[in-house]
Amino acid sequence: MFAQIRQLPRAVWVLYAGTVINRFGSFVMPLLAIYLTRQGYTPARAGIAIGAYGAGHLCASLLGGFLADRIGRRDTIALSMFSSAAAMLALSLAREFPVIVILTYFAGLSAELYRPASNALIADLVAPEHRVLAFSLYHYAINIGFAAGPATAGFLADHAFVYVFIGDSVTSVLYGVIALMALPSVTRIVHKERPEPSPIPNRLLTFLAATVCLTLVDFQMGSTFALHVQSLGFATSTYGLLVSLNGALIVTCELAITNFVRRFKPQPVIALGYLISGLGLSQTLFAHTVPALAFTVALWTLGEMISLPMAGAYVAELAPAEQRGRYMGFFSMSQSMGMLAAPILGTMAYEVNPSLVWLSCAALGIIACGFVLWRAEWPVTHLPLPTSTNADQ
């Protein structure tokens, strides 16, 4: 595995490095629900604001995929980072709720614009037999930053929330500079004539539906899970440490898990991961101490480690080469739809009865698993096994 890691192109390592910096500085969103409730807004209003970020994420998925195929991966990433820094600084100054919602939408639009471009760039530069490992390392890089980011944000927030917004903006600018200076300016595949986009396969639509269900679960972490921790009387820094546990577990365990599961067909592996994530977060219903809360984080993190690298590589395998940005945009869009709906639905259910949220997480995990396994005919029976040849650069 480590021999294959060393074969990855230099540009992919630059992407990983920039991702670590950016994700470390993603301070605002994990704490936005706590920030807004401290400003006097209800949990439901906080959920609406977080949902606005999801709406921006949804638009960014489509726009980011389009831009990645038109102006290039590098320029899309840089545009995302610089506009995100400006949006976060503006959000720190907002006090009226309608303005907060609008700026949170633009923060989501700008901050998430880079995702389809990053995924497409990995698929461009890495040979098919190495893509599961490459996407696992990308997820690993995200969580190296995320392992320390929320904990740092929690400690900053305990002093002054403005430091959270400033730190988020500074790290975004830094990644934008790295992208312009070190990432390739053009994609590996150049087309003199752009073909008409092909219809989305029904099998991909089913997989995207499963991903929507799963993200309805995942994004409870930044909304209702934060409110649950706060309702138990724990400090913001405790919540930050619990979220950072997710990143720490991925940093220490994901490569070994990926190296094991990539030998199997992708659909059962992804289905298992989605199921464990849903059932894992549902255990929050019984968690009232820090160790019990940490156990629930460990469970849904296990599901994430099993499914997410395989899911990214699977979508890349389905995508025509000239439409990778578009397909990765669809994959990101399915996550965005969950991000949009999860905080709103979750906080509304939380105000009615917190138990309803956690029972719904279990149901959604089961449904997501069923969607992944539903289709009997799969265009890819398995991903190519790794070989000793050099990665396609």
Domain boundaries, the chain: 2-186+203-374
CA angle 337, 339, 342 (to 5 degrees): 100
Per-residue pLDDT at 119: 85
Given a contact cutoff of 8 angstroms between Cβ atoms, the answer to whether 383 and 131 are in contact is yes
Query: Mind listing the pLDDT tens digit for each residue in 192-214?
Result: 445 555 566 677 888 888 999 99
Q: What is the reported pLDDT for 80? A: 93
pLDDT band at 127 (very low <50, low <70, confident <90, very high): confident
Q: What 3-state DSSP class applies to 378? A: coil
Largest Cα separation within the chain, whole Å, is: 61
What mean pLDDT is predicted for residues 133-142? 83
Whole-model pTM: value is: 0.69
In the structure, what pLDDT confidence band is assigned to residue 336 with cuts at 50, 70 and 90?
confident
Among the listed residues 184, 330, 306, the one whose alpha carbon sits nearest the alpha carbon of residue 254? 306
Q: 174-191, pLDDT tens digit by residue?
A: 999 999 998 887 554 444
Q: What is the pLDDT of residue 375?
A: 60
CA atoms within 13 A on the CB side of 21: 17
In single-letter form, the type of residue at position 63 comes to L
**What torsion, rounded to 10 degrees, do the Cα atoms 338, 343, 349, 353 define?**
120
Total length of the chain = 393
For the ranges 1-5, 110-114, 203-207, 365-369, the maximum mean pLDDT occurs at 365-369
Residue 41, sorted as left (phi over 0), alpha (psi -120 to 50) or beta, turns out to be beta
- Which residue, among 58, 57, 76, 74, has the nearest Cα to 66 in the 3D structure? 76
Superfamily of domain 2-186+203-374: MFS general substrate transporter like domains (1.20.1250.20)
Which has the minimum average pLDDT: 50-54, 96-100, 171-175, 376-380?
376-380
Write out pLDDT tens, residues 217-263.
Answer: 988 887 889 888 888 888 877 887 888 788 788 878 888 898 888 88
Token digits for 375? 């289709």
